[in-house]
Amino acid sequence: MTASPKPLLDQVATPQDLRKLSPSQLPQLADELRRETIEAVSVTGGHLGAGLGVVELTVALHYVFDTPRDRIIWDVGHQTYPHKILTGRRDRIRTLRQGGGLSGFTKRGESEYDAFGAGHSSTSISAGLGMAIARDLSGGENHVIAVIGDSAMSAGMAYEALNNAGALDSRLIVILNDNDMSIAPPTGALSAYLARLVSGSAYRSMRVAAREIASRLPRVFYDKARKAEEFSRSFLTGGTMFEELGFYYVGPIDGHNLDHLLPVLINLRDKDEGPVLVHVITKKGKGYKPAEDSDDRYHGVNKFDVATGAQVKPKANAPSYTGVFARSLVAEAERDEKIVAITAAMPGGTGLDIFGKAFPERTFDVAIAEQHAVTFAAGLAAEGYKPFCALYSTFLQRGYDQVVHDVAVQHLPVRFAIDRAGLVGADGPTHAGAFDLSYLCCLPGMVVMAPSDEAELVHMVATAVAHDSGPIAFRYPRGEGVGVEMPERGEILEVGKGRIVRQGRDVALLSLGTRLSEALKAAEELERQGISATVADARFAKPIDRDLVRALALSHKALITIEEGSVGGFGAQVAQFLSDEGLLDGTRGAFRFRQMTLPDSYIDHDGYDKMIAKAKLDAASIAALATQALSTQALGRGEPAKVRLA
C-alpha cells in the first residue's frame, strides 16, 4: 500500500482535528498544506502567492484559537485558500472559482469559518471591531482576530478603524501581515524573543506598574519617562504609531516560524484587555520557487505546471482592452505633456505599468486609496493637467463621494478609465463592474462612454483627452477585444452621438458597449425568423443621442436597449427621454420599449459566457425578447386586464 504524500493533512478535516496534533507536528502539516495549495491552484488558477505567504500563520491561528467560535476575519480574502483547506473544504478545493464551486474569497454563506466576506481590501479591522463590540454588548468571551496585509493598511478605512478601536478599548487582535514593504527592522531570534516577552503577562504587569509609579512623579519627570519608554519600544520594535492609536504593539516576528508564532499568539489569546496589534513578517509566494522569483510573487495565475511554474495561457485572438487603453494613452501622452495617469495599487491590472515605463514621472500609484486617487486627480485637473484615473469599476465605488463632491460638482475634467466593467467571470460578484453606469449617469455634467470594440476604445481615449469642460468616463470589459482592424490614431468623437451599424425596420436594438456583437448575432437570428432588425451602437450612455433615439422610436415597432450594467443606467436614461418626449403615451399604437440590463441579483462566479447567458444578455435572449415584444400578446391586442381599485 502506497503511503499518503500528505499524512498529517489527511488527518485534519476541521480545526478541531488540527488542535489534536502536537506543536512539533505543525511544521510538517504546514509543508503539506503548502503543497496542497500549490497543486489545487495549478488546476483551477487563481490567487497563489498571498496564500503561500500565510500558510504557517493560518495553521497557528486555527491551532491557538477556538474557531469558528473565535472569529478570524481575513482581509481581501484571496489569501484564504489554506484556510479553506483546513476548514472542511479540502474535498472541494479544486472547484475554486469554477461554476458551482468554492469562491475565490471568503464568503459567509459558504462556511461558518468565514466570519466575514471580503473581496475588496481594508475592511477587516472595521468588521472585527464591530464583532468585538457586539461580543461585549452580549457578554461574550470569544476572541476576534483581524488579519490585514501591509498593502491593505495603506487605505484610509484601516486607519479610521484603528483609531476607533483604540478609543473604544475593546479586546481585539489585529495581525499585520507584512509581506512586501516592511515597516520595521528585519526579524530574527532577538525580535522573536522581544515579541514573546512584551506579549507576556509579566512584561505587561511591569509596564503598568512602571507607568503607575511614573504618574506619581512631577509632570516634567513623568513626560520624560513616558517618552523614554516609547522610544525604547520604537527602537526595538517600531510600534510607536500603533501605540499612539491605542493599540498594544507586539513584533515584528517571523511569520514562517511556528516556534515564534505559537507562544506569542497563546500569550495574546490569554490577554483579556484592550486592542493589540501583532506585526508579522512573511514572504509572498513562500515555499514555491517560481512564485518567489516572480515580480508579483504569482499574485494571480492561470492554470500552471507545478514542476516548472509555466502558466497555461490561451492564445489571444485579439489585444486585451486593458492593453489597448494603455498603449493608446501612451500614444496620446507622447503628443500632450499634460497627460498624467493615476492608479490605486493596480498598475499591472489597469495597464498603467506600460504607461509608467514610458512616463515614470507622470505616473502615480497611490496605493489602495481610491478616495485619495479621485481627489488627487481633481487637484491635478484644477491646475490644468489632464489626469486619467484608471480604476476597476468595482473599486471606483469606494471613491464615489469624491467623484460627486470633488470632481462632478466642481466640473473638473478628470478622465475616468473604468476597467473590468460588467461581469468578470471567476472573480464573481465582489469584483463585477455592475453599477458604474447607474452611479455615474445620474451625475449632472458627467459624460459616460462605452466602446463596442477595441478600435472604439482608441477613439474614446482620444475623446477623453480632448474633453476639458468637465468629467468624462469610459468603461470597458476584462479580456480580449473582438479582433477588428485598429486605427493608427484615435479620432475625437462628437460627444453624445451614436451610430447605426445595421439598418432594419421592425425592431431597433440599441446597444451600449461590447454587447453590440451579441446584438448583431441576434439580428441575424431575427432575420431568419422574418423579422428585420436595426442595430445601433449608442457609444454614449450620457448624454444619450436624442436624435438617434427619437428616430429609432418613430420608425420601429419596438426599441430595446442593451447594456451590461445594473438597472438605472443607460436604459434608464433612454426611458426618461422617451417619457419626456411623450413617445410612451400610446398615441403611436403598437410601439414597445424594453430594457435589457443585468438582473437585480448577484451572479455567482462562473465562466463569462455562462454568466452572460444567466443574465440573459446573450444573442439568444436578445432575439427572444425582440420576438416577444413584437408578438400579438405583447402588443396588447387581447382582452385588457380588469383592475380592481381599493
Give, for 128, the enclosing helix (H) or strand (E): helix 124-138
Residue 398 annotated in active site: yes
Collapsing DSSP states into helix, strand and coil, what is residue 431?
coil
Residue 212 annotated in active site: no
Taking the C-alpha atoms of residue 512 and residue 452, their distance in angstroms, rounded to an integer, is: 7
Is 260 assigned to a binding site? no
- Of these residues, 284, 415, 515, 592, which one is catalytic? 284
DSSP H stretches of helix in 45-72: 49-53, 55-64
Give, for 219, the enclosing helix (H) or strand (E): helix 219-237
Handedness of CA 453, 454, 460, 464 (dihedral sign): positive
Cell of 381: 485637473
Taking the C-alpha atoms of residue 184 and residue 181, their distance in angstroms, rounded to an integer, is: 9
Residues pairing with 433 in the sheet: 422
Give, for 379, the enclosing helix (H) or strand (E): helix 370-382
Taking the C-alpha atoms of residue 132 and residue 138, their distance in angstroms, rounded to an integer, is: 10
Nearest 10 degrees: CA dihedral of 140, 141, 142, 145?
110
Taking the C-alpha atoms of residue 537 and residue 129, their distance in angstroms, rounded to an integer, is: 48
> Quick one: the chain helix, strand, coil %, rounded to 5?
45, 15, 40
Is 120 assigned to a binding site? yes
Taking the C-alpha atoms of residue 77 and residue 577, their distance in angstroms, rounded to an integer, is: 43
Is 78 assigned to a binding site? yes
Is 370 assigned to a binding site? yes
Is 222 assigned to a binding site? no
Is 179 assigned to a binding site? yes
- Of these residues, 32, 56, 332, 370, which one is catalytic? 370
Collapsing DSSP states into helix, strand and coil, what is residue 534?
strand
Residue 542 annotated in active site: no
Place of cell 503543497: 35
Collapsing DSSP states into helix, strand and coil, what is residue 636?
coil
Residue set of the binding site for Mg(2+): 150, 179
Q: Which residues are catalytic, by number?
A: 284, 370, 398
Residue set of the binding site for thiamine diphosphate: 78, 119-121, 179, 288, 370
Residue set of the binding site: 78, 119-121, 150, 179, 288, 370
